[in-house]
Chain A
């Protein structure tokens, strides 16, 4: 701040006069606390994209009025941080196993809205079979994958979605196609399955992408609500800690690395197809 502004003589708003007590007490102008969050605290790193994605999910649930029917099935990973602080019912599953557990919930109680929350290590490395079979069965659940291309919880190791050239603690010189294999583009894979009714990939590294992510989550939940089949939303999230990049650089790193390979957009939406 320039000396002129501090002195109240330059351009911009005048400095607040603090020589006398304020005439009225402080009051909240706007509350940005999202709905359906029970306990605000979590232990994820600064710059992490997962809280933004989970916020989008609970806001989409609230916007559609599904909070009194939702059961969220959490996997194991950084996102497990949100399994015990949301104001939606939560069932904790094992690493990779949320889709089968969610299937059991939905088949036993078809009137519920069932959502899995899993990372890329969880859904694609450990649990690829689970999500593919759930999609193929047309299971009326919504799987949400928070894809940052690393095992963040363990400290930045290579997963099945790590892009070529990406450095991790287990691919120090960058992921190499010969040594480590190529990444799996999960949303593209799932979109090919007939049971999948809505498949989209998005990101949370810009304000516009955050808004698009929330719209995609709403669309996925609407697909489930209307009984059309399986839905998947893959959300690219920042992990500056696991990527070993500066926190402010993470959104751009996401665009240049994960975003450039995995892409973004709606890959499949049965609701959007014209009637035959």
Chain B
């Protein structure tokens, strides 16, 4: 008997969050993120969790911040536009060393820079995971909650319209709903340490009370945060799906749903005897630079497909470091809805663009 069920991406992602322990969610509707919020509003109360209809994305991230500070596994999300509104908080939540999972069910792929560089102020980094399909999204969501709790750092899951709205057969819930969340971690606020002389403080300005001085030691706090970020980025393994790159003359790099189309286009070209391969980054931060560099070794050119004007292109160039020319074969492809239903996202169109790169570098 199969344990697989057909589920829409948004539903599978919401279920995965609850299975991963998420007990607080706050959001504001926006296409194509809306169905995640709908499903969390239905499911979270069933397992004793809280889902808030926030009055704006700014309040959504604020509510998630407060819940996260109590040690409650929390998440929020939106599309890129809503994420823009959240950036001030996302920056400071990181400097407050709080775990949080943030979803960006993006329109097209124009939010790569926002996701990987961060649209907020100050020195901070988020871990960024970009699943390629619904089944991988379920695994990635579990990984996001584990990573955010381990590193006390926000983890962004960057999806897209197709991921949110495509139904795929995925394994059903692995964990019984209603499983009791673990006891709150030692740093979490519960109110109980007040009046002890050692009341807890959770602040993006620092969590040390200066008993011999006034104010916060921002230099010490920011330095500690920077060291923590560097350690995290070294320790978290970069991941990518790599295929048929051994003898490839051209390697194509793409992430998210378009990564699957690129894989299909490459496989079609391989069937015709064209020596091409693909790399699909799954972690965008840390970027799988070593995997991209290894795939590019021996290639005559590296091509990058994105449904934007060329953003991940920068990271591919930094990974390849001049070892091969890096060409951009993506571009804006928007229907009138603007939701990222890219008309150009077509295996035949992509295969033609890849073949053009191959022929120009023969």
Contact = CB atoms under 8 A, between A and B. Distances in A.
Interface of A: 35-36, 38-39, 41-43, 61-62, 67-71, 73, 80-81, 83-94, 97, 99-109, 111-113, 129-130, 133
Contacts of B60: 100
Contact of B206 (A67, A84, A97): A84
B66 interface: yes
Contact of A105 (B66, B88, B92, B214): B66
Nearest to B88: A94
Contact of B66 (A43, A73, A83, A113): A73
Nearest to A107: B50
A44 to B, nearest CB: 9
B92 A94 contact: yes
Given A67-B194, A104-B68, A107-B24, 9 more contacts: A70-B191, A81-B215, A83-B201, A83-B203, A89-B200, A93-B66, A108-B66, A112-B189, A130-B62
B70 A42 contact: no
A57 to B, nearest CB: 13
A125 to B, nearest CB: 15
B189 A36 contact: no
Interface stretch (B13-21, B51-59, B330-338): B51-59
B210 interface: yes
Contact of B199 (A88, A105, A129): A88
Contact of A84 (B89, B190, B196, B210): B210
Given A39-B211, A71-B191, A104 B62 contact: yes
What 3 A-B pairs come out closest when comparing CB atoms?
A104-B66, A100-B62, A92-B203
A54 to B, nearest CB: 14
B342 interface: no
B191 A38 contact: no
Interface size class of B (residues with CB under 8 A): 35 or more
Contact of B191 (A69, A83, A93): A69
A90 B55 contact: no
Given A92-B202, A101-B65, A38 B197 contact: yes
B195 A97 contact: no
A82 to B, nearest CB: 11
B189 A71 contact: yes
A192 B63 CA distance: 24
B202 A100 contact: no
B72 interface: yes
Contact of B202 (A67, A80, A81, A90): A90
B113 interface: no
Interface in B110-124: none
A43 B215 CA distance: 8
Given A69-B192, A100-B66, A105-B70, A92 B213 contact: no
B175 to A, nearest CB: 20
B204 interface: yes
Interface in B189-247: 189-197, 199-206, 208-211, 213-216
Contacts of B189: 71, 89, 91, 105, 109, 112
B303 to A, nearest CB: 42
Given A94-B88, A109-B190, A88 B195 contact: yes
Given A41-B213, A88-B199, A103 B62 contact: yes
Given A41-B214, A91-B189, A107-B67, A85 B209 contact: yes
Contacts of A91: 66, 69, 189, 202-203
Nearest to A111: B191
A168 B200 CA distance: 37
B26 interface: yes
7 contacts: A36-B195, A89-B194, A89-B200, A90-B201, A93-B62, A100-B58, A104-B66
Contacts of B196: 87
B66 A102 contact: yes
Nearest to B65: A101
A83 to B, nearest CB: 6
B96 interface: yes
Listed residue (A83, A85, A93, A104) with the most chain B CB atoms within 10 angstroms of its CB? A104
B304 interface: no
B194 A87 contact: yes
A101 B66 contact: yes
Interface in B323-353: none
A139 B61 CA distance: 17
Given A39-B209, A90-B203, A101-B65, A108 B195 contact: no
B195 A87 contact: yes
Contacts of A43: 214-215
Nearest to A88: B194
Nearest to B92: A94
Contact of B197 (A42, A87, A103, A106): A87
Listed residue (B56, B194, B205, B209) with the most chain A CB atoms within 10 angstroms of its CB? B194
B74 interface: yes
